[in-house]
Amino acid sequence: MREKVAIVGVGQSAFVRNYPGSIKELAFEAFREALQDAGLSAKDIDASIICSAPEYDKQRSPAGVIAEYLGLTPKPTFYLESICSSSSMGVRVAYSLIESGLHKIVAVIGFQKMSEISSAESQERMGRGADIQWESPFGTMMPAYYAMYAKAYMEKYGLTLDDLALVRVKSATYGQLNDRAVYRKPVTLEMFKDPENLMSRPVATPLRVGDCCANADGSSCVILAKREEAKAITDKPVWILGLGAASEPVNLTGRDLFTGLSVAIRAAEEAYKMAGVGPKDIKVAEVHDCFTIAELMAYENLGFCKPGEAKELIRNKETYKEGRIPVNVDGGLLSKGHPIGATGGSQIRTIVLQLRGEAGPMQVPGEPDIGLVHNIGGVGLYGNVTILGR
């Protein structure tokens, strides 16, 4: 039986540029919404997992103060991080806590207040996002690594700069429909060709400002429950059908693939196997589009198309809401925003709402029954794939 653990409640704060409150208050917004969604109260939660990327936090050990503020004490709480995939990893661990019989109902709370530190501090930390001994001394940063993947990919498969821009155009299409998104304006191909437009400004060749996701403050919450409890809590449980996770060397010198992310391929294989489904069964997906190239590689790494064919998917609008396999129809990281620790939980929330038929203007037609979340930490350093079904 694959219906062992279900998601019974989801919540998310608005993703904003500068959140006017503390990390506790930010976490509270998502937690309250998830509790109300599930019809539970804080005392029903048996354990909580708090997820963020610690380099943006001033608070040491955020789990304690957040659990206190959310009324989750005296139940066990702990902190978990795998950078940008922290809250997907949190859901993986919550699943095992429930499946092992230790707890019945677990809350995974992801948050990030990137504006907690100054932009100079943030820039400095960004430089140390790589192997600090052998890579950071050269002045590296996240966009430059993904840019190297983009360069290698474009060379091998004939992908164009316009293809990259088309991903951003799609995400902006849906960002406008998402009232929780940080970037709600349209983006056009012309903006990428206009040297006066910010979107066209080079960040790390071949990536431009428009190819990079928007930093944001935000929180997310996913409440998971054991089969029997889930059925008692809600008549719309969304089951966790498959979980996959993997890691890769941080330092690029330890890698072999530069036109895709090995962690995504491995994690997807594992998740499909556990769920007993394949890429063709996925009706809606959320992928980790921290950069436009990342979304295109995800199409292939998840098996939505063969290597080199991602450009056809975006050119033919097959990943739009009405297409063959809708991807990131909530705006993705590019337009919805990327509050690191909250991102995975937010992606999972989007798929849960889609499977329940509650995604409003973003709802994919045809009553999707199976969805997938692809959440990556660092530059393909950690990878989590989660398959959900109703």
Partner 1 sequence: MGKEMDVRFKKFGPISFTATTKVNDFVDYLEKGKVAGTRCKKCGKKYFPPRADCSNCLGSDMEWFEIDGTGKLISYSTLHYAPSGFEQDLPYTIALLDFGEYKVFGRVSKDIKEDELKIGMEMKVKAVKLPNGQLSYEFVKP
Which stretch, 132-140, 295-303, 315-323, 350-358, contacts partner 1 (CB under 8 A)? 132-140
The residues annotated as belonging to the active site are: 84, 338
Would you call the peptide bond into 365 cis, given omega within 30 degrees of 0 as the criterion? no
Which positions from 246 through 275 interact with partner 1, judged by CB under 8 A?
251-255, 258
Choosing from 22, 59, 136, 176, the residue that interacts with partner 1 (CB under 8 A) is 136
Verify binding: residue 135, partner 1, rule CB under 8 A. yes
CB of 19 to partner 1, least distance (A): 23
Verify binding: residue 148, partner 1, rule CB under 8 A. yes
Count residues binding partner 1 (CB under 8 A).
39
Choosing from 204, 233, 313, 334, the residue that interacts with partner 1 (CB under 8 A) is 204
CB of 303 to partner 1, least distance (A): 24
Verify binding: residue 126, partner 1, rule CB under 8 A. yes
Which stretch, 8-16, 127-135, 232-240, 266-274, contacts partner 1 (CB under 8 A)? 127-135
Choosing from 202, 278, 361, 366, the residue that interacts with partner 1 (CB under 8 A) is 202
Choosing from 17, 58, 128, 315, the residue that interacts with partner 1 (CB under 8 A) is 128
Q: What angle do CA 173, 216, 184 make, to 5 degrees?
A: 25
Residue 158-197 contact track with partner 1, rule CB under 8 A, x = bound: ----------------------------------------
Q: How many CB atoms lie within 10 A of CB 47?
A: 21
For helices 86-99 and 343-356, what crossing angle results, to 10°? Answer: 70
Choosing from 205, 273, 312, 367, the residue that interacts with partner 1 (CB under 8 A) is 205
Which of these, 159, 129, 120, lies nearest to 55 by C-alpha position?
129
**Residue 106, strand partner residues:** 47, 224
Q: Are 47 and 76 in contact (CB under 8 A)?
A: yes
Verify binding: residue 211, partner 1, rule CB under 8 A. no
C-alpha to C-alpha distance for 62 and 45, rounded to whole angstroms: 18
Two tokens at 171? Answer: 């995400």
The torsion defined by the Cα of 226, 230, 233 and 238, in degrees rounded to 10, comes to 140
Residue 84-123 contact track with partner 1, rule CB under 8 A, x = bound: ------------------------------------x--x
Residue with Cβ nearer partner 1 (252 or 387): 252
Choosing from 95, 149, 299, 320, the residue that interacts with partner 1 (CB under 8 A) is 149
Which are the contacts of 64, defined by CB distance < 8 A and separation ≥ 6? 77
CA 113 to chain CA mean position, Å? 16
CB of 171 to partner 1, least distance (A): 21
Verify binding: residue 137, partner 1, rule CB under 8 A. yes
Helix/strand/coil percent split, the chain, to 5: 45, 20, 35
**Residue 385, strand partner residues:** 244, 374
Amino acid at 173: T
**Phi, psi angle pair for 217, to nearest 5°:** -95, 140
Residue with Cβ nearer partner 1 (45 or 290): 290
C-alpha to C-alpha distance for 359 and 196, rounded to whole angstroms: 36
Which are the contacts of 140, defined by CB distance < 8 A and separation ≥ 6? 127, 129, 130
Choosing from 20, 74, 139, 195, the residue that interacts with partner 1 (CB under 8 A) is 139
Choosing from 151, 227, 231, 317, the residue that interacts with partner 1 (CB under 8 A) is 151
Half-sphere exposure of 11 (CA within 13 A, CB side): 26
Binding region for partner 1 (CB under 8 A) = 120, 123-124, 126-128, 132-141, 143-145, 147-152, 155, 201-207, 251-255, 258
